[in-house]
Amino acid sequence: MKNPESIVRLQRALNYPEKPYSPGVKYLEYPFTDISQGENQVYSGMRNLLRISGLDKENYNKRGWNPMREFVGPGAKIFINPGGAFVDSLSHPSLLKVILDYIYIATEGKAEIFVGFSPFDWETEEEFKLPEPGGKDFRVRWIDLREANGGDSLGYTQIDLGEASEFYKYRGNWKLMSMDGEVDTHKPHIARYFISTTVLSSDLIINIARPALNPWLGVSGILASALGFIGNPERIPLFSKGAALSGGDQCPGEEKKECKKTMGKWWGNDTLWRAVLDINKIILYFNYDGSIRHEKRKILSFLDGISISGKKAGFLAAGLSQGILDCVSLKLMGYDWKKIPLILNFFTISSFPLSQFSPKDISVIAEDIFLSGKFDEIEPVISLGEMRSWKGKLR
């Protein structure tokens, strides 16, 4: 029998709905009265992802269908990251609406729910627009995780991965730079991160992200959205100072002028992917007090692939493994996972591993036979261009 973590569920969906994002059909399990006048492909598509995942299958199409009860129940604490670390990976709020409705059913409206992130490469002047929850007594709290904006009221948990970090024995010049200057929390044998305590004290974490081209990573998605769990982006290293020929990865050449312009935004960046994988390790394996968990944390992830980089891609996806979901999205976008350091190294981690599988173990399940099959059989659904600084390095 296939391990659920090696399976990705895929669903066609072509358009985003209009507000308030309610379903266009009165499903038997739907506990609210608001129904949209038009079709809502996101709602029906997300619902179908839960169905083909086999969740509470004996009750499907009955009033008691409760697909999320496998993950949460009344009294649960849930943190939802809508993918806002990178602006291009921010998901459409209609996906969040579906998730909130099924959480309401699973928890009977009795849960602590937080939605939030810390923007990594952009400044948001206003809060992420939360969809209106169906239940009037169902409280969903927005939390801006940036320390500069008040941050997490519970504070931040400091985790030093030490030898378990992807920076351990990294032979950079150790002048790791953020957008604001040199980083002092990443030195040889030190890999210190400050993660939201609310996130690390949650029973379930749900990620929703849109795949996107990214100048530091090549492509960003679910794994990269973990950067949104930190309180201060300036503590995360973007690149190792200096040109590649002098031991850094700030730029490919050797001129200072070029490095100041590039700032690590090229295919040779050997730094940021390490921080992304480290944070994913912490989210999966660590408690809010810094101790190691007895069991890995429950994490459920969804990909918003309806529109990517302004182009129609027309898919939604769900899975239990962040990196495997990203790997499938790369295939659907026509890119080679082996050329993306973040994904390539995701499969080879030895300390606090994020996956026990390789791409050959991945299966994709969908009602559309053209989207179903083993990983190697999946064909792209969209043709995207390449960034100049990654030209010829994604395919």
Give the β-pairing of 363-365 and 7-12.
parallel
pTM exceeding the 0.85 threshold for the entire prediction: yes
pLDDT at 360 over 60: yes
Cβ(113)–Cβ(74) below 8 Å: no
237 burial via Cβ count (<10 Å: 0-12, 13-18, 19+): buried
Q: Is 158 helix (H, G, I), strand (E, B) or coil?
A: strand
pLDDT tens readout for residues 99-130: 999 999 999 999 999 999 988 766 654 556 67
Cβ(344)–Cβ(217) below 8 Å: no
Give the β-pairing of 140-144 and 112-117.
parallel
**Cβ atoms within 10 Å, residue 267:** 21
Q: Over the chain, what is the mean pLDDT?
A: 90
User: Half-sphere exposure of residue 149, counting CA atoms within 13 Å on the CB side?
Assistant: 18
pLDDT at 172 over 80: no
**Closest by Cα among 156, 81, 158 to 117:** 81
* Predicted local distance difference test score (pLDDT) of residue 27: 96
* Predicted local distance difference test score (pLDDT) of residue 150: 87
Q: What is the DSSP string of 44-92?
A: HHHHHHHHHTTTTGGGTTSTT--GGGGT--TT-EEEEE-STTSGGGPPP
* Predicted local distance difference test score (pLDDT) of residue 174: 60
* Predicted local distance difference test score (pLDDT) of residue 15: 93
Task: Give the pLDDT band of residue 1 (cuts 50, 70, 90).
Answer: very low
Segments making up each domain of the chain, as ranges: 4-390
**pLDDT above 90 covers what percent of the chain?**
69
pLDDT tens readout for residues 224-256: 999 999 988 878 888 888 898 888 899 997 777
Mean pLDDT of 17-31: 93
